[in-house]
């Protein structure tokens, strides 16, 4: 049985990750899940949440995913297609904090817009992915 799985992460803006991983953890619209080598084929609708990739050497990499679809094929390859996917190293935390403050102000002023609420969640995920250390 294989000890790694190949993953391709692609967003609307371009290719984000191409790597062999030993574990993947994400959140679908139905809840948290993990994928290990040998996982059965499946399709998952992803929520706005971090995706954690674990490599053979024990290191981890996090990706802020803002909705998308994750496919596991019969050869146990993983394809993650996301509206937005940002590596932890590419996230501008100060910019996310500024956006979050502006959105919170608009909501406090009475703006009841589902798009604003989703954007607020996106900023939280960006800050969470960029700031929080991952336990290996």
Band of residue 132 on the pLDDT scale cut at 50, 70, 90: low
Residue 120 has pLDDT above 50, yes or no: yes
Q: Is the pTM of this model over 0.95?
A: no
What domain range is 39 assigned to?
5-88
Task: Tokens 């290719």: give the residue.
Answer: 15
Band of residue 134 on the pLDDT scale cut at 50, 70, 90: very low
Residues 81, 115 share a domain: no
Range 101-125 average pLDDT: 85
- The number of angstroms, rounded, from the C-alpha of 92 to the middle of its chain's C-alpha atoms is 16
48-69 residue pLDDT tens: 999 999 999 999 999 999 999 9
Residues 82, 31 share a domain: yes
Residues 30, 76 share a domain: yes
Q: Is residue 118 part of a domain?
A: yes
Q: How many independent structural domains does the chain possess?
A: 2
CA distance 121 to 112: 14
Residues 101, 47 share a domain: no
8-34 residue pLDDT tens: 999 999 999 999 999 999 999 999 999
Band of residue 1 on the pLDDT scale cut at 50, 70, 90: low
Q: What number of other Cβ atoms are within 10 A of residue 1's Cβ? A: 6
Residues 66, 52 share a domain: yes
Torsion sign, CA atoms 64, 114, 100, 92: positive
Q: Is residue 55 part of a domain?
A: yes
């Amino acid at each position: 049985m294989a000890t790694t799985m190949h993953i391709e992460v692609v967003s609307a803006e371009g290719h984000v990750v191409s790597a062999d991983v030993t574990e993947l953890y994400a959140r679908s619209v139905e809840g948290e899940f993990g994928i290990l080598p040998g996982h059965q084929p499946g399709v998952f609708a992803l929520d706005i949440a971090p995706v954690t990739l674990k490599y053979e050497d024990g290191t981890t990499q996090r990706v802020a995913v803002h909705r998308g679809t994750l496919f596991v094929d019969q050869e146990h390859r993983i394809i993650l297609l996301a509206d937005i996917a940002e590596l932890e190293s590419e996230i501008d935390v100060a910019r996310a904090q500024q956006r979050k403050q502006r959105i919170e102000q608009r909501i406090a002023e009475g703006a009841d817009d589902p798009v604003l609420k989703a954007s607020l969640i996106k900023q939280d995920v960006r800050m969470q992915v960029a700031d929080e250390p991952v336990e290996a």
